[in-house]
Amino acid sequence: MANNDTITADNKVLEEKLDIEFENQELALGVTSSGGLEEVYDGKQNFKGYVPTEEELETLRKVPDSLPMSAWSVAVVELCERFTYYGITGPFQNYMQNPRGGLRPGAIGLGQQGASALSYFFQFWCYITPIFAAIISDQYWGKFKTICVFSGIYVIGTLLLFVTSLPTAIEHNAALGGLVAAMIIIGLGTGGIKSNVSPLIAEQYTVTKPYVKTLKSGERVIVDPSTTVQSIFMVFYLCINVGSLSAIATTEMELNIDFWAAYLLPFCFFFVAILSLAIFGKYYVKKPPTGSVMPHAFKIITIAVKNKFSLEKAKPSVREAEGLSVVPWSDLFVDELKRALVACKVFIIYPIYWVVYGQMINNFISQAGQMNTHGIPNDIMQNIDPIAIIIFIPIMDRLVYPQLRKWGIPFKPVTRIFFGFMFAAISMAYAAIVQHLIYNTGPCYDAPLACAASMDGSIPNNIHVAVQTPAYFFIALSEIFASITGLEYAYTKAPTNMKSFIMSMFLVTNAFGAALGIALSSTAVDPKLVWMYTGLAVATAIAGVIFWFLFKDLNKMEDELNAIDAEYNTEVIAHSTEEGKKNDRGEVTYEA
């Protein structure tokens, strides 16, 4: 490199800078320094480091940045919301499936098939509502206000569930109607939070360009925004699963007290999330909604369809060259939308994965109910999944992924998702083996709890429920690879002003998975369960292989696709300098 000594000296000066400020710079940006290097600033205009050279990008180790406190606050909100959600859904299968007074706790008595179908309906509803909330957020309210409003709706739903689960309500046959109404209201509330909270936590980190940092050990590393976003979603998913441990408490309360107590605890705990929003919300990075972004996106797609699906034809530069009408968006916004459509294609195969995931909250619980639980609630077994995730996430985030990066082994998103599908398939194969063992064990063999020897359903088949444990471990590993990466992919590939909407597109694949689950619920009866699990294992493995061959080339484009965000921020600064647009808080905004 020419003038190497000068550049090295300049680097040292840059690394010692701490608090250089620029006006009208809300997002991360790069500014050419005197030495020809680019400086990187965070959302508070504090100096972070300098942009690495091509040689440094290839030779230095990539590490995640530290997370801002506002991101941790959003994580607490998600933890509380998931505490409430899993606290109420943990006892759902027993609440719906079993009648009062049986071996397992119950209230409504729909049977396994009916309970599984209603469970899938709730899952479907919870993952279709994020679309509507995302449109409201991206166009009108913004993420923070949307989360606050839908949190209020959430509280109403959980209160209704608690009231209709009281013994007197069950005795007067109000439980089923109350449950369905509560499901609809809770699904609306959680949908409004789901599509916005994950983009909100990622938006708290505002640096978009990698920069060089010297560790205390003297090692020079590259602090990489993509790696940081991956780490953010690992933390986010960790909080989800810490919150989901509430099902341990609520299933014990269901068994030892009653369902009303199990539903009262999550209702009360949700107010911690509301309190966190009220106290810390003023410190959040809040990107204002852009009212025209959704109509612009649909107009661009319409132009592309009319031009043989060519998005290039929607670019202002192309239209100007061809003498066509002027459009109000930028070339860069078209590139962002093109990238988002790539992400949406990746999501197409996810519904098959979510069918498998759904087994954990319905048929796995019923399977445990057919086994000898030795005094513990059969629905407490589902908590092995979040416990496993809590163990595995730090191992992956702090040991496995850094070691792979150190060895120069790329473990890009498409590869991770493929592994997620494979672990899900293994989980279903193992569940089929467990079900086969149940059917080969007395007293009722392939009719558990339904033969005369079960003494009116009070004696399960004599096989220890611990045999089921590995199935949850395999599901947990699959989530770390497929679910977390899906969230990350939805965020990083979405246009800056459409984060909530693209996230909802990922979440809606869960709704389609639930719809498939409803269609398959007729097979969730004895003695068909072995074949149901086997079929799911084969289908998921095939889906994973198809996914790999369809999208493996996207791994090579990963850095190129992620670089668009840095280009967007440069454009924001350019437009804000020329036009001086500010919102009522004095923040510079740009309408794509």
pLDDT tens sequence for the chain (592 residues): 444 454 444 454 444 443 333 333 333 333 333 333 566 766 556 667 788 888 888 888 888 988 889 999 999 999 999 999 999 998 988 899 888 877 788 889 888 888 888 988 998 999 999 999 998 998 889 999 999 999 999 999 999 999 999 999 999 989 999 999 999 999 999 999 999 999 999 999 888 888 998 888 888 999 988 889 989 999 999 999 999 999 999 989 998 899 999 999 999 999 999 999 999 999 998 988 876 677 888 898 899 888 888 888 899 998 888 888 888 888 888 888 888 888 888 999 999 999 999 898 888 988 999 999 988 888 889 889 999 999 999 999 889 998 988 888 888 999 999 999 999 999 999 999 999 999 999 899 988 988 888 887 789 999 999 999 999 999 999 999 999 999 988 888 888 778 888 888 899 999 999 889 888 888 888 898 999 999 999 999 999 999 999 999 888 877 776 665 555 555 444 444 444 444 443 333 333 3
pLDDT of residue 457: 79
DSSP E strands, 52-162: 62-63
Domain 69-289+338-568 architecture: Up-down Bundle (1.20)
pTM of the predicted model as reported, rounded to 2 decimal places: 0.78
> Which residues are registered as beta bridge partners of 41?
47
The domain spans of the chain are 69-289+338-568
**How many C-beta atoms lie closer than 10 Å to residue 12's C-beta?**
9
Question: Which of 504, 506, 469, 500 has the alpha carbon at shortest distance from 484?
Answer: 506
399 vs 387: CA distance, rounded Å: 18
Give the list of residues 6+ apart from residue 526 with CB closer than 8 angstroms, or none: 439, 446, 447, 448, 450
21 vs 41: CA distance, rounded Å: 9
Q: Which DSSP string do the residues of 134-147 spell out, in sequence order?
A: HHHIIIII-HHHHH
pLDDT of residue 407: 85
pLDDT of residue 47: 65
Question: Which of 30, 52, 32, 53 has the alpha carbon at shortest distance from 42?
Answer: 30
pLDDT of residue 27: 37
